[in-house]
Structure 1
């Protein structure tokens, strides 16, 4: 069962621009007396800045203008392509964890419960989001390429180590796949998604959706590859090494084509003031609680669909494609809703998508035949994909600063909160499954109820936000 965790919540969304990209930055003209002497001999200095110096005026006290965005161009779309490659290599693998869950449960770690095994995938995704906080600080400081290159190395090293693990050695899988790969993914994924917003504002939801859609393509390819190699002799090691070599080539391309723009520099006191404002914003906190509840349950089918189909009589030759079908549908689910979100508002899209996804969870009971698995996978993949990909743009609805300087903190707090939802949600579902009896109604009801509860929180947050902004397009 693949896990469609598309991690979509970068720790910081930088909104700065560079003059080299054709966008002017606000001038800051704070100078010392010695600089004034040098300034008097510099013929290229503007008259306005001269007047500021002579009058002792500090330009840093001027109101901050809202940054502008290219909204396209070669560099922008290469950045989107590079981000899509990163999500293909990272969350494409995460979304394929259901294949590992099925293989471990029935073969290589069959002495452990599904709940225990699911901790491998849950810890992996937890680190993807939790590492977003330190990765975001490094990103703010201008170390994007260090994060991407270092994360690529750690991730690829861990994948190669996973190919060498011995059957029935749980700790080896946990260290390589849960911790090593998870931390490496965290340093790559969230900064790569964050970088996209340097170039887009009006079409930000669509651009992020394109980046996140890369994970769906990976979620289609990896299950086919792994399911066709794992059953063979020495298939596990061969399949994982094939993934490692393919990702090596793709990540070389991503590291080569992604380029940063100049990030804003925010003083520590300003950050503290912004953080206090964010953590006391009740509508935003209500939204975060709702997001936690939705993410607590929305990935349960991605972890357990393949196991459910295998245990309910679906032919083995087709079971291996159940996750692929779900991820294929989520390609549209991560682009079409984002396109609509740019027109009608992210919250107006994510709320109905969450309600429909919660209802569709019950349709998992129909995945006991080929037709049922196809229909469920297609519909759930589409609507849950919309929930996952629009969550980050939805956080942007709550910004209160004209220059969006509080956007990074809001998304960082959301990302860190969701890490704990992803850490615990699937193990809870696995414990409720109660093997070897496999009481499927319990995890299904759990997932549906928490998704509905999250949608209710989002409705409350939306109502408060409509009053604050005076518009329903949010």
Structure 2
């Protein structure tokens, strides 16, 4: 049984000892314990479960708001699917657009302080949204402010956690980022049940209260790995005072101009531009196939269940076959799912065939497309090394956020009608758009894999497991 001192996650400063010649020697910090690893996984997963779970369940609100768009007394009257989708898009985009600053603040201040501020903003945003009376007010609160709060809670989780793991980094990040899927499984039916019984406004209030408790509790556990903390302390000495607050971790010029960085940035942008469109429209698309609103919301839960399983299983497999290899395969399968299942579902002549194809798409897309998200940060360490991880991670997450801001609204604009009884035909252009983006992302990931191989050859040899 570990002692209470061992269980503590506090980072102890390195002890200075003296050798026989009385020269100072900085001792290595103690090795992290199993309990510390477990606590980091639980805390990070809880943060992802909360903020990303609610974001990934936005499809429930999308369906409700689209229905209310035909009600002259509602705040959403006359709003198109693209305008409503902009609420969720803002939240998801800002979650990663602010990554460079959040990463810098997570290094400048204790991670728990950054996370607590995110939890406060996130909860207040949902609470204020529950009182909004105009469409633009929802975009500012449930969209913009929620996105800022999500960024401050999410980015520390995916930046701090990888520093604690080496050989099992893929599995660890798979578990942590499965919180997105688990959150969707829990939040989607929960929000639908609350909305059905008490209305969407009370749903926003209740989720704000729950989120505040979970985020602040999980945030109190988050710490940097001891060796990472020492590197961060050394970096902080070069940016003292208030200047450090505004100094973002810029990517080293030699890395930024490399082909592998360009290839990874391209793949990240293309995948992000496509990724969230099906997530936001699962429920409303299911309604076009004749499903009830309750059953339609269950498609979000189904996709997120597959999301959670895929991230854990594929993360575990990636540790054995190579993270870049797994990244390529998952991106390819997600493109196949979109073009081979979702598109035919929208073209199907019978409702039964359309439903079967859509169910298959929901499961396969949830498994493979979501795995990209968990493999993405681990692939950065493989490509650029742990010493450059924080800066590269922040910049490329910002790239993903900007791409989401463009791609998802374009896909929403391609949906020509919000009428649930009109069949799935209005979604055909959006399905093609998503499929082409994912196919292009697959080619970009293959380019990343080739660049990694070229780099290994220059260093004296290549291996298939990358």
- Whole-angstrom CA distance in 2 between matches of 1:49 and 1:450: 63
Distance 2:161 2:34 in 1: 12
Equivalent residue in structure 1 for 2:395, among 396, 402, 413: 413
Between structures 1 and 2, the one with greater helix share = 2
Q: How does 1:98-137 map to 2 (within 5 A)?
A: 98-107=59-68, 108=74, 109-137=76-104
* Structure of higher CA gyration radius: 1
1:70–1:199 Cα contact (<8 Å) kept: no
Partners of 2:57 and 2:184 within 8 A in 1: yes
Q: Cα distance, 1:78 vs. partner?
A: 0.6
Mark the CA change 1:139 to 1:236 in structure 2 (over 3 Å): closer, same or farther: same
**For the Cα contact (< 8 Å) 1:153–1:184, is it kept in 2?**
yes
Q: Is the 8 A contact 1:128 1:186 kept in 2?
A: yes
What corresponds to 2:175 in structure 1? 210
**Structure 1 pair 72/382, CA: closer, same or farther in 2 (3 Å)?**
farther
**Structure 1 residues 294 and 148 mapped into 2: Cα distance closer, same or farther (>3 Å)?**
same
Verify: 1:154 aligned to 2:136, yes or no: no
CA distance in 1, matches of 2:113, 2:362: 38
TM-aligned CA deviation for residue 164 of structure 1: 1.9
1:366 partnered with 2:353: no
Name the structure 1 match of 2:43.
82
Say whether residues 1:226 and 2:226 are aligned partners. Answer: no
For 2:19, the equivalent position in structure 1 comes to 46
Q: 1:395 aligns with which of 377, 380, 385?
A: 380
Q: What is the rounded CA distance, in whole Å, between the counterparts of 2:42 and 2:316 in structure 1?
A: 17
Once the two structures are TM-superposed, the CA of residue 332 in structure 1 deviates from its matched residue by: 0.8
CA deviation string 1:20-67 (max 9, x = no partner): 98999999x9xxxxxxxxxxxxxx532366299xxxxxx9xxxxx9x9
Please report the TM-score for the alignment, with normalisation by the length of structure 2: 0.83
Asked whether 1:466 is paired with 2:458, we answer no
**Greater alpha carbon shift after TM alignment, 182-191 vs 97-106:** 97-106
Comparing both chains, which one has the higher relative contact order based on Cα–Cα distances under 8 Å and sequence gaps of 6 or more? Answer: 1
1:357 counterpart = 2:334: yes
Report the more deviating stretch, 367-376 or 335-344. 367-376
Q: Which residue of 2 aligns with 1:178?
A: 143
Gaps of 5+ in 1: 1-19, 30-43, 53-58, 60-64
TM-score after normalising by structure 1: 0.82
**1:50-449 aligned within 5 A:** 50=23, 70=31, 73-107=34-68, 108=74, 109-166=76-133, 169-232=134-197, 234-261=198-225, 262-264=229-231, 265-266=234-235, 275-362=252-339, 363-364=341-342, 365-366=344-345, 369=352, 371-399=356-384, 404-435=386-417, 439-449=426-436
Aligned-partner Cα distance in 2 for 1:312–1:130? 35
Shift of 1:259: 3.3
Say if 1:72 and 1:334 are closer, same or farther in 2 by CA, change over 3 A. Answer: farther
The count of aligned residue pairs is: 422
Q: Is the 8 A contact 1:333 1:383 kept in 2?
A: yes
Residues 71-94 of structure 1: per-residue CA shift (max 9 Å, x gap) = 751122111101111111100011
Please state whether the residue corresponding to 1:361 is helix, strand or coil. Answer: helix
**Alpha-carbon displacement from aligned partner over 1:138-166 (angstroms, at most 9, x marks no partner):** 11123312101111111111111122223
Find the aligned partners of 1:444 and 1:257 in 2 and give their Cα distance.
Answer: 41
Structure 2 vs 1, CA of residues 397 and 383 (structure 1 numbering), >3 Å: closer, same or farther? same
**CA 1:22–1:328: 2 relative to 1, 3 Å:** closer
Alpha carbons 2:48, 2:154 under 8 Å: kept? yes
CA drift at 1:451: 0.7
The 3 A distance-change label for structure 1 pair 416 and 22 is closer
Name the residue aligned to 1:7.
Answer: none
Deviation at residue 298 of structure 1 after TM alignment: 2.2
> Do the aligned partners of residues 101 and 455 (structure 1) sit closer, same or farther apart at CA in structure 2, a change above 3 Å counting?
same
Larger mean Cα displacement after TM superposition, 408-417 or 391-400: 391-400
Mark the CA change 1:103 to 1:23 in structure 2 (over 3 Å): closer, same or farther: closer
3-state SS of paired residue (1:212): helix
1:211 and 1:435 map into 2 onto residues whose CA distance is: 37
CA contact (8 A) 1:126 1:423 kept: yes
RMSD of equivalent CA atoms: 2.9
Residues 303/70 of structure 1: CA separation in 2 closer, same or farther (3 Å cut): farther
| Contact 2:345-2:358 at 8 Å conserved across structures | yes
